[in-house]
Amino acid sequence: MEILSNLAMGFSIAISPYTLLLAVIGCFVGTIIGALPGLGPANGVALLIPISFSMGLDAISALVLLTSVYYGAMYGGRISSILLNIPGDEPAMMTTLDGYPMAKQGMAGEALVVSGVASFVGAFIATIGLMIFAPYLARVAFKFGPAEYFALYMLAFCTLGGIGSNNQAKAAMAAAIGLGIAMIGLDKTTGMPRFTFGELHLQDGVDFLVAIVGLFAVAEVFFFIETHGKNSAIGVKLGKILVPWRMLRQTTGAMLRGTGIGFVAGVLPGAGASLGSFLAYTAEKSVARDKSQFGKGNPRGVAAPEAGNNAAAGGALVPMLTLGVPGSGTTAVLLALLLTLNITPGPLLFAERPEVVWSLIAALLIANIVLLLMNVPMVKVFVHILSVPAWILLPGVTMVAFVGIYSLTGSSFDMLMMVGFGVLGYIMRKLEIPTVPVILGILLGNAMEDNLRRAMVLSDGDWTFLFSSPIAIGLWIAAVLGFIAPIFLRSFLKRPPLPETEPKVGD
Amino acid sequence: MIRGDRIFGAVMIVLALGYILTASRIGTSFMSDPVGPRAFPYMIAGVIILCAVSMILRPDPEAEWPAGPMLLQLGIAFAALIGYAFAIKPLGFILPTVIVAGILSWQIGGHPKRAAIAGAGLGIGLFVLFRVVLGLGLKGLPAGWGF
């Protein structure tokens, strides 16, 4: 009952004509961002943080707008997966496996509706899961001291690096680069400048928004120049959209199973939506009686991963809100948003600022309903937008990135640093070094060091203090396992190849 | 055979050593704690060196790096973005945006005429969006030209 009264409070804050308008705009923009190949949810939210900040939106409005964009991008990713065989973002990759074959058989409309409903089921149930589990986890998190937090940060880096990359050394390197960048600026404890080289601009440290926009958006431009925008979408056609009720009934089980798996994958730190959709698809295939139909246009192969990836997106909010530890690149960006708004996630957030938590949850529920309406009856609108060519889109995205950073900080130095991060992001992606741990390092670096030093103050310099409580030991074991186990599971976790795209006439 | 991984690893080792050197010069103040401001940076540099050595000893298969003309293209894009970072303050939003968006559009699409239209459209369209619709405090034209 406490949940319901809290939720009522959240809705009373979040439901106003103005915030509803923001939710609609956010959902619309988010779906476009998700649908366009090359612009994922992390990218979209990162680009919009500085802009919504300089528009002077208050905390609740900014949260409503950007979480709508976040969920919208998760919905939108499926559109280009199904129609073009190009995942709009990484978690949508599994949707191509059966979505594109369905489109080839002339069932593009059905695939879009089934996946849209699956997205809704996954995201909606996951949001309810968030309401139930987050306060519980927040109560557990009260028991965490500095040693436990330090171990928790290690766990986040280890699982993210272990699962997200094919080379452990590269993932650890990326995390260390991020942590190293986080050290730049004034040391909080002693007040001494570190790694500033006498440069005043560096005294406050490197702004994580500059790093995020550079690593994600600017790096993308270099990639598009190299490929000459070959991946852009041209000539998409779609017939009348009808709701295939029978197909929806047949896939209900797949949606619910996908949701459960996705939510659990999302709650684990470092796993995120990509793993959620992957596991949901694999599980659905292994319980199905008609295994051979998977990969050839089975609607359940569309429903399960879409439910899984959207449920994971909701599940990933649980550790982000209660512990301040994001589970994926996109939630790392959402953490950046909260920090920009001066909201520190963690157990105290639930006790001290319940209005933020519950209006955020209310916003998520609103966003989901808006998205269901947008993505099923109105999906054609987005299909038209998909045909915007890359030579207009990418320059536009770059300019938006610059405007955002410029209006946030007003300094050329930050824009130069953003271009620098763009080059770094390009090189790292060429070398297959993941960039998300860099972001996570920059975001968490200071808190991680702070907790380490406070732990040492408590224990008077005794390093064994880090392993002295059962919770801390458990987290350390999980961290080591999360880092090492994927080496042995790699053959199992190997991703299936994309279905072959038919050569287009006139290419 | 030199691979990208090895070059990156070597560069990171040099950077990490420089990082350690810089960290060793961080001043001590009257406030102190058992760990101090230098230990955590040392640990980070240690991790970087370990990972770099691993990348040098066991590099992954070489990526496809851009060569010759493509490298020049990327260089042009880089120079344009750097120029944009310097130009937006004194020249206002519209002019640099038209030029840089035009350059990027030409590099991605390869049609000069279309790129010019895209650049002009983006420069003016985004200005209207940001200034008029979203109300950001952007300057449109160079100082003294109005706006």
> Which tens digits make up the pLDDT trace of A170-203?
989 999 999 999 999 888 778 788 888 878 888 8
Looking at the predicted structure, is the pLDDT value of residue A297 above 80? yes
Average pLDDT value for residue range B121-137 = 84
Nearest to A313, CA basis, from A81, A125, A61: A125
What does each C-alpha distance from A309 to A119, A220, A435 come to in angstroms?
Answer: 8, 23, 20
Q: Output the pTM of the full model.
A: 0.85
**Who has greater pLDDT, B24 or A232?**
B24
pLDDT at A58: 83
Looking at the predicted structure, is the pLDDT value of residue A306 above 60? yes
CA B51, B53, B54, B58 torsion-angle sign: positive
Q: Return the DSSP state at A194.
A: E
| Nearest residue on chain B to A179, alpha-carbon basis | B44
* Maximum alpha-carbon separation in chain B: 65
Question: A186 has which bridge partners?
Answer: A193
A422 and A219 in contact (C-beta within 8 Å)? yes
Looking at the predicted structure, is the pLDDT value of residue A161 above 80? no
Interface probe for B, chosen from A231, A391, A449 (most Cβ of B below 10 Å), is: A391
B85 and A419 in contact (C-beta within 8 Å)? yes
Nearest to A49, CA basis, from A483, A373, A469, A341: A341
Calpha distance B116→B103 (Å, rounded): 8
Among A183, A389, A419, whose Cβ lies nearest the Cβ of B109?
Answer: A389
Q: Does A279 fall in a domain?
A: yes
- The distance from CA A424 to its chain's CA centroid, rounded to whole angstroms, is 21
Query: How far is B147 from chain A, CA to nearest CA, in Å?
Result: 17
Contacting residues for A481 by C-beta, under 8 A, at least 6 apart: none
**Interchain CB contact of A203 with B (< 8 Å):** no
**Interchain CB contact of A458 with B (< 8 Å):** no
pLDDT band at A476 (very low <50, low <70, confident <90, very high): very high
- The distance from CA A132 to its chain's CA centroid, rounded to whole angstroms, is 21
- The distance from CA A382 to its chain's CA centroid, rounded to whole angstroms, is 21
Cβ-Cβ contacts under 8 Å, A390 against chain B: 108-109
Q: Does A398 fall in a domain?
A: yes
Size of interface A-B (CB pairs under 8 A): 198
Q: Does A50 fall in a domain?
A: yes
Query: How far is A357 from chain B, CA to nearest CA, in Å?
Result: 27
Residue B147's SS3 state is coil
**Assign residue A387 a region: left if phi > 0, alpha if psi is -120 to 50, beta otherwise?**
alpha
pLDDT at A504: 43
Looking at the predicted structure, is the pLDDT value of residue A86 above 80? no
Calpha distance A432→B55 (Å, rounded): 12
Calpha distance A262→A123 (Å, rounded): 10
pLDDT at A427: 93
pLDDT at A234: 42
> Are the Cβ atoms of B44 and A180 closer than 8 angstroms?
yes
Q: Does A126 fall in a domain?
A: yes
pLDDT at A239: 65
pLDDT at A506: 35
Cβ-Cβ contacts under 8 Å, A218 against chain B: 81
Other Cβ atoms less than 10 A from the Cβ of B6: the count is: 16
The kind and range of the H/E element at A203 are none
Nearest to A436, CA basis, from A267, A237, A269: A269
Interface probe for A, chosen from B13, B17, B40 (most Cβ of A below 10 Å), is: B40
> Are the Cβ atoms of A51 and B134 closer than 8 angstroms?
yes
pLDDT at A501: 60
Looking at the predicted structure, is the pLDDT value of residue A493 above 70? no
Q: Does A501 fall in a domain?
A: no
Write the secondary structure of chain B as one string of H (helix), E (strand) and C (coil): CCCHHHHHHHHHHHHHHHHHHHHHCCCCCCCCCCCCCCHHHHHHHHHHHHHHHHHHHCCCCCCCCCCHHHHHHHHHHHHHHHHHHHHHHHHCCHHHHHHHHHHHHHHHHCCHHHHHHHHHHHHHHHHHHHHHHCCCCCCCCCCCCCC
A284 and A342 in contact (C-beta within 8 Å)? no
Among B23, B48, B118, whose Cβ lies nearest the Cβ of A391?
Answer: B118
Among B26, B51, B60, whose Cβ lies nearest the Cβ of A194?
Answer: B26
Q: Does A503 fall in a domain?
A: no
Q: Does A247 fall in a domain?
A: yes
Other Cβ atoms less than 10 A from the Cβ of A74: the count is: 32
What's the one-letter identity of residue A104? K
Calpha distance A337→B47 (Å, rounded): 29
| Nearest residue on chain B to A195, alpha-carbon basis | B22
State the residue for tokens 């279309």. Answer: B114
H-type helices in A324-462, by residue range? 329-340, 347-352, 354-375, 379-385, 390-409, 412-430, 436-459
Calpha distance A250→A438 (Å, rounded): 42
Total domains in chain A come to 1
Question: A193 has which bridge partners?
Answer: A186
Window 227-246 of A: residues touching B by CB (8 A cutoff) are 228-229
pLDDT at A346: 86
Calpha distance A222→A394 (Å, rounded): 10
B101 and B119 in contact (C-beta within 8 Å)? yes
pLDDT at B51: 94
Question: A194 has which bridge partners?
Answer: A185
Rounded to a whole number of angstroms, the distance between the first and last alpha carbons of chain B is 58
Nearest to B108, CA basis, from A178, A222, A235: A222
Give me the interface pTM, i.e. the ipTM: 0.92
**Who has greater pLDDT, A116 or B146?**
A116
Cβ-Cβ contacts under 8 Å, B44 against chain A: 176, 179-180, 183
A50 and A414 in contact (C-beta within 8 Å)? no
Cβ-Cβ contacts under 8 Å, B33 against chain A: 189-190, 453, 456-457
pLDDT at A255: 92
Among A335-344, A482-491, B118-127, the minimum mean pLDDT is found in A482-491
Q: Return the DSSP state at A128.
A: H
Question: A185 has which bridge partners?
Answer: A194
pLDDT at B85: 92
User: To 5 degrees, how large is the angle CA A325–CA A310–CA A11?
Assistant: 80
Q: Does A504 fall in a domain?
A: no
**Interchain CB contact of A447 with B (< 8 Å):** no
Share of chain A above pLDDT 70, in %: 91
Calpha distance B54→B5 (Å, rounded): 10
> Are the Cβ atoms of B122 and A403 closer than 8 angstroms?
no
Nearest to A138, CA basis, from A285, A19, A307, A6: A6
Please tell me which of A50-59, A106-115, A174-183, A193-202 the model is most confident about, judged by mean pLDDT.
A174-183
pLDDT at B146: 56
Q: Return the DSSP state at A129.
A: H
> Are the Cβ atoms of B85 and A173 closer than 8 angstroms?
no
* Residue A11 lies in domain: 1-489
Query: How far is A457 from chain B, CA to nearest CA, in Å?
Result: 6
**Interchain CB contact of A430 with B (< 8 Å):** yes
